[in-house]
Amino acid sequence: MRGSLREGVPAIVTGGARGIGAAVARRLAAEGAAVTVADIDGDAAARMASTIAGARALQLDVTDAAAVDRAFDEAPQPYEIVVANAGVGTAGAPVVATSDEEWHRVLGVNLHGVFYTLRAAGRRLLGAGLPGRIIVTASIAGLAPEADAAPYCASKFAVIGLLRSMAVELAPHGILVNGVCPGDVRTELHAEFGVRERAAQSSIPIGRLAEPEDVAGVYAMLAGPDGAYITGETVVIDGGILANALGA
């Protein structure tokens, strides 16, 4: 069965070794993309890539601007689909108890790493005169703040502003930039927050945590023909959490 994407279109997914990133890599490949699984854990990236026909693995620390530039400059073909998904959670503490180290650790990956990725992707696409799709994993925490998670919320609010600004800049060149804002998804990152699943589920009108596969299809839509007139948007996939909080 033919997928929705051009067969062999080059795609890269950062943080692609597990969780949402792995599900997105699998889905893009199923839709026809030639996927590069990039992750700071090179062995995990290789294991993940080995499960996808034709995929390649790349060890990449998105907090290293020079390494990110090399990854895009040295790619055999410009990546026409870029999913900036690499991210970390936070241990959970009020602002007054948040250390400098924790603040810089979270912002380093979730904001600076996304900035380096988007900058490199935009430069390569513009240089090649190609259209493209850039998709950022944000979070509903970037739309509605949470207590005891200031570094994470700040990073996600910031990347939404970043992607919207870039969307306006790149739209005339046929490069579309969007974000996906998942709610509670059953991943290692969710577990890192120390959230009890029962408590999380009680706030979700659908009544369960999302699985990574529940959100991967939205990335495929934004990367494909159905996303051809969407840019600067953040698509919320949260099982109704925000709607419930707003009394909708």
Q: Catalytic residue numbers?
A: 152
Amino acid identity of residue 10, one-letter, is: P
Give me the phi and psi of 65, to 5 degrees please: -60, -40
Sheet architecture: strand order including 132-137? 56-59, 34-39, 10-14, 81-84, 132-137, 175-182, 234-237
Q: Which tokens belong to 21? A: 């990133």
Helix axes 150-170, 114-128, angle to 10 degrees: 10
Tokens 């700071």 locate to 40
Amino acid identity of residue 98, one-letter, is: T
Q: Which tokens belong to 219? A: 């990335």
